[in-house]
């Protein structure tokens, strides 16, 4: 991209919105005008970008005049209410919520996997779920080599995936418990400090949660695999940043660890660790996803088990959105 673009960030005061700013600055995005938008309670605050303070404005129906690209990260309700407003104003929307991910006329994009699917579009491009994006960064290179049929997976999801208030809740609970005090949960259904919660998002009639089904439903669209199956258990863990996923995958073709590792090494945006294994504390703040603990699965024919870890605020959200904007 050489021509400068006028960009608006909706939800600029949130954890992902702030990360979008940092990613755009770090990647030297060809930016003309920048407009930061958020709820009235955040309006008037400032965020630093390229050495200057930018004032956050309240989101409204006239917020997108003169904007080329609007990055949305303020939840599904705001996206449903304002994405079409932005499109009608002439902006291209990159939406980080779940509002449009399963809409047939909205491309669902992980640039390293299906960049070619970005066109045709009707003004809105969707960012996938963070756990889905991180998993597919490892799974898709393996699919290209061996043709994936199904996976069984468990995710270990950092609290920052639930927003800035969730980060504060973990911090406050840790401090309170360390001093023998109580800190009742507000964001999560149970205490998250020194605990794990096997529920992310609300339950469906099947017993799975909405978050768990996103891996299958979004994975089918992104990889163009209508028969792909994924049985997933999503778990919230007391980690501030970076999601981890344990995956057991079954393939159509015979699979070997050496060949699988080579497939990962050749793929963009993901690294294979020959020694040790990736952990959230090491992956936080890094653009790439990391893969380790790879082994032949002993319970499935043509099966492979592996561990993938990635910063969900980056590849799972802000970085992926900015990469889509760069494609646009």
The DSSP output letter for 30 is -
Instruction: Examine the residue annotation and report whether 190 is marked as an active-site residue of this protein.
Output: no
Q: Name the active-site residue from 130, 234, 283, 289.
A: 130
Contacts 24+ apart (CB under 8 A), 60-63: 61/85, 63/8, 63/10, 63/35, 63/37
In contact, 269 and 315? CB cutoff 8 Å = yes
Element (H, E) at 114: helix 111-114
Report CA 319 to chain centroid distance, whole Å: 9
Residue 129: CB atoms within 10 A of its CB come to: 28
Q: From CA 25, how far away is CA 170, in angstroms rounded?
A: 29
Q: From CA 68, how far away is CA 247, in angstroms rounded?
A: 39
Q: What are phi and psi of 222, to 5 degrees?
A: -70, -40
Q: Name the active-site residue from 234, 243, 289, 309.
A: 243
Instruction: Examine the residue annotation and report whether 179 is marked as an active-site residue of this protein.
Output: no
The torsion region of residue 122 among left (phi > 0), alpha (psi -120 to 50) and beta comes to alpha
Residue located via tokens 């639930």: 162
Catalytic residue list: 130, 243
């Amino acid at each position: 991209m050489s021509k400068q673009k006028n960009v608006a960030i909706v939800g600029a005061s949130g954890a992902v919105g702030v990360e979008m700013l940092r990613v755009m600055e770090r990647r030297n995005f060809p930016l003309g005008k920048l407009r930061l938008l958020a709820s009235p309670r955040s309006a008037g605050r400032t965020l630093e970008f390229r050495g200057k303070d930018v004032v956050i404005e309240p989101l409204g129906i006239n917020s997108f005049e003169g904007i080329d690209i609007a990055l949305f990260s303020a939840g599904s309700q705001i996206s449903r209410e304002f994405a079409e407003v932005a499109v009608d104003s002439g902006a291209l929307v990159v939406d980080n919520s779940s509002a449009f991910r399963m809409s047939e006329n909205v491309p669902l994009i992980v640039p390293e996997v299906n960049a070619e699917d970005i066109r045709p579009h009707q003004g809105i491009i969707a960012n996938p779920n963070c756990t889905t994006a991180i998993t597919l960064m490892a799974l898709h290179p393996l699919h290209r080599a061996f043709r994936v049929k199904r996976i069984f997976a468990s995710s270990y999801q950092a609290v920052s995936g639930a927003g800035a208030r969730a980060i504060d809740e973990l911090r406050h609970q840790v401090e309170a418990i360390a001093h023998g005090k109580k800190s009742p949960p507000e964001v999560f259904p149970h205490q998250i400090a020194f605990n794990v919660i096997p529920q992310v998002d609300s339950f469906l009639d099947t017993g799975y949660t909405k978050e768990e089904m996103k891996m299958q439903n979004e994975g089918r669209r992104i990889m163009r695999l209508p028969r792909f199956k994924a049985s997933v258990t999503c778990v919230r863990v007391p980690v501030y940043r970076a999601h981890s996923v344990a995956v057991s995958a079954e393939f159509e073709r015979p699979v070997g660890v050496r060949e699988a590792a080579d497939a990962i090494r050749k793929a963009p945006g993901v690294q294979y660790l020959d020694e040790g294994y990736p952990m959230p504390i090491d992956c936080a703040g890094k653009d790439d996803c990391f893969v380790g603990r790879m082994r032949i699965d002993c319970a499935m024919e043509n099966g492979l088990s592996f561990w993938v870890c990635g910063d969900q605020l980056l590849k799972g959200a802000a970085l992926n959105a900015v990469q889509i904007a760069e494609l646009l």
